[in-house]
Structure 1
């Protein structure tokens, strides 16, 4: 090698390494941690003396802590807003099941935006925004995905763990890059260890790790060694002497709390391993770490005095911890009290990571950076709307709007007068104990007017009027499993046998083999009917015994859109399948 070539290569390598170091400084890694049904009070740092969370407490001590941070009352809407910076209704997500937990593929996620900037992107745990193409994590910007299906392991929508019963969290079959794989161990340990492997594999490039624990969601299953630490505690003791309300706990609530605290401690131990890996790899300073939860607790327990729990628009249902740590970017160990929400994560990461927010749609969130940088922010310029029912917003049921420290809550009829609402001054009454609607009717009417305008806009969103379709037969996913979580139909459709249900689909022309799995074996001798659009196919079944799995082959369909409606009738009863598998030949 001659001198000139050697010098050129040396200079080139120096330039590349310098360029990479510069790029790395401008492109921090991102680890977004969210837990499932962990309430505001399920942390030692929030005054709970029973739960042991030294790792999360230490993270909080080193972080910027947003103490007025809010999420949706239930999980799928929270995750849709978190991923897109938009109210969940804009994305097509309105519920946790009943066909309402599928996010339109046209939505642009944090993962897609970071992937476009050269980030490696991975999700580990719960997705809950659609289990079929084109709504899976792999369709929405994630290079690597290890998830369970539907809203929770052991639920009817998660077809690979449902029949494991009280062992659904152990040795599960999960979906790794859209394929079923069996894993050994406890679910939280699996998700965390795979996230750590992803971090290590991508140590030399910017990465986005979405560690989305399904714990401590029900079913409350935890390794025995963790439960033993809590089996003798009284989760209802030691509260109520600091001026904050404490709501009574039943014996079942207390036993549930013991299991929840054990599950949370297991998460804490797994996060200790993750944070140790960041230090070991020397990338801790250039990594943004966010910790949050998705809604309030499902069961009654300590919630730091807040009223309500999961599903409620009261503070106990929607106020959540939010800790953000970025050593290379800003100073930690600070409390910030400005009104913030899950909607704000995408705009904040846009500022920190240098990507542009989508310009072709409404982004409801606002960057947190002005608050982090101590810039003056007018609290009256920020509102936060919340609701939850099984469908679209019901006027005025379980609905609220906050602005400037005030909160209007509706749990009344659609034509109710303003005095039927609740109005709280959260600055002086954070526990929502004193309804001021009678003395501040003008403030209540002002907030109600804003609420009405926003509901009217959200109710007309395209993705709500025309919900996302599961696409079948396009080669990206074959076979396709349609599960109960994404089935529409009667409200409350879950694991019932005799219930009306269907899936909204778009089917490519072709020949299909179809299998129907039932919740329990059904009597033989009936007829299986499969409707799609204007086509109805009827199949006779054998006349003896019982049937658990039914199969029909060579079904020919033309290209079509509509409701895929399967039902089996026998003995005057109609059975809706547990799941349907469609394989294009």
Structure 2
């Protein structure tokens, strides 16, 4: 842990005056590749998600929440509050990758740990593993049980001989292992941590599920139980897990002062590459983007727009639904704020949502969002989104056309020009290129 002297004395002062009770516990429930249209409360006609639906009923359901369009950038935004191009990983973070979060990053876990929180992680990391210093327990988490990267980093889907194993702390403790009961094992770990919680210290608990990332795995208790085949079984088991965690919070009397954030890291792998279409993986094993356009790995909304719900009973009015633009970096910035944690010394791309969440203001503080893939491919500013990947300007009015069906570029050349200039400024700032567009 990289402890700062100022933060250290801040923790001592906090403990001395006993203000920990006015800061919420934080539980992050993070699905992997769950589509915007997968939960019932986001419109799926067959998959049953009563616990996700109840979370939405008791909190704020966001319908324009965006993040990175695949695993690493979305987790980077959550853990650092920064767009991925700002973070110098110096290598890949999957199997055989030697990159990882540098010491200069001020992670969510480090910030809350230094603010006096107990910090725990269960599940997938994917932000570096080859050197132990990259692992969660050296990035601010007190404990970690889970996988270092995605569950498909094994043959035949990825040509690697690196063992895919479960870690506890900074040691691999199980290889090989059965993925079928993994959601249940993560659930048992998470509920055990909540049950052991000391009432005099707030905690951060980050649960990053392996599912429904391909290859799909589900326990025997849920196999064949849904009305939507194997994929439905997997989603319904994740929903069960969420229900168990929420139930445990309630049993411990922690619900009122716990902020729960649920989201997916990105959209479903509808356009999965040929390497994934083997050994039991089928095209229908990907989730749903609902009426949105696009897939995981793309900058149409089906890739970066995901289901997202925030519940905080003591602060957020239940049953709210908002189409305001919110981005994953905002979660980082907001959690540091509510935890009274030291701000990051780095450029942060997130905004503090506290006033918006509490209903003090009607609008989200986020006014724009930049969509990266190999380069900077799109930007949304207010109601307008410009996408340049094809070399032709694609301009969509997101309030009236969230499905990106009607290209308005020819009618709104001045908006195209303004948004394109914004993209060029950001691209220069982070060292990425923007596709030149035709006039």
Superposition TM-score tier, normalisation by shorter sequence: 0.7 to 0.9
Contact 1:115/1:141 (<8 A) preserved? yes
Q: Which runs of 4+ in 1 moved over 4 A?
A: 19-22, 93-101, 375-381
What TM-score do the two structures reach when normalised by structure 2?
0.84
Question: Is 2:163 the partner of 1:160?
Answer: yes
CA distance in structure 1 between the aligned counterparts of 2:299 and 2:355, rounded to whole angstroms? 27
- Which secondary structure state, in structure 1, belongs to the residue aligned with residue 352 of structure 2? coil
Tell me what 1:326 maps to.
312
- The 5 A counterparts of 1:558-573 are none
CA distance in structure 1 between the aligned counterparts of 2:223 and 2:407, rounded to whole angstroms? 40
CA distance in structure 2 between the aligned counterparts of 1:215 and 1:112, rounded to whole angstroms? 26
CA distance in structure 1 between the aligned counterparts of 2:323 and 2:341, rounded to whole angstroms? 26
Q: What displacement does 1:290 show? A: 0.6
- Which secondary structure state, in structure 2, belongs to the residue aligned with residue 278 of structure 1? helix
Which segments of 5 or more consecutive residues in structure 1 lack a partner in the other structure? 1-18, 162-172, 236-257, 414-419, 462-585
Over the aligned positions, Cα root-mean-square deviation in angstroms equals: 2.5
Contact 1:152/1:158 (<8 A) preserved? no
Which segments of 5 or more consecutive residues in structure 2 lack a partner in the other structure? 1-14, 271-285, 434-439
CA distance in structure 1 between the aligned counterparts of 2:16 and 2:414, rounded to whole angstroms? 57
Contact 2:21/2:202 (<8 A) preserved? no
CA distance in structure 1 between the aligned counterparts of 2:365 and 2:224, rounded to whole angstroms? 49
CA distance in structure 2 between the aligned counterparts of 1:95 and 1:159, rounded to whole angstroms? 14
Tell me what 2:210 maps to.
214
Q: What displacement does 1:342 show? A: 0.4
Query: Is the radius of gyration larger for structure 1 or structure 2?
Result: 1
CA distance in structure 2 between the aligned counterparts of 1:364 and 1:34, rounded to whole angstroms? 20
Tell me what 1:151 maps to.
150
CA distance in structure 1 between the aligned counterparts of 2:364 and 2:245, rounded to whole angstroms? 36
What TM-score do the two structures reach when normalised by structure 1?
0.63
CA distance in structure 1 between the aligned counterparts of 2:203 and 2:330, rounded to whole angstroms? 20
Q: What displacement does 1:27 show? A: 2.1
Contact 1:121/1:141 (<8 A) preserved? yes
Contact 2:33/2:213 (<8 A) preserved? yes
Tell me what 2:184 maps to.
189
Contact 2:85/2:432 (<8 A) preserved? no
- The 5 A counterparts of 1:330-479 are 330-358=316-344, 360-376=345-361, 382-389=367-374, 393=375, 399-413=377-391, 420-459=392-431
Contact 1:77/1:95 (<8 A) preserved? no
Contact 1:37/1:310 (<8 A) preserved? yes
Question: Is 2:33 the partner of 1:62?
Answer: no
CA distance in structure 2 between the aligned counterparts of 1:377 and 1:269, rounded to whole angstroms? 33
CA distance in structure 2 between the aligned counterparts of 1:335 and 1:383, rounded to whole angstroms? 20
- Which secondary structure state, in structure 2, belongs to the residue aligned with residue 275 of structure 1? helix
Cα gap change, 1:223 to 1:379, in 2 (>3 Å): closer
- Alignment length (residue pairs): 393
Tell me what 2:278 maps to.
none
CA distance in structure 2 between the aligned counterparts of 1:266 and 1:21, rounded to whole angstroms? 43
Cα gap change, 1:381 to 1:67, in 2 (>3 Å): closer
CA distance in structure 1 between the aligned counterparts of 2:243 and 2:161, rounded to whole angstroms? 29
Tell me what 1:109 maps to.
107
CA distance in structure 2 between the aligned counterparts of 1:228 and 1:457, rounded to whole angstroms? 50
CA distance in structure 1 between the aligned counterparts of 2:365 and 2:57, rounded to whole angstroms? 29
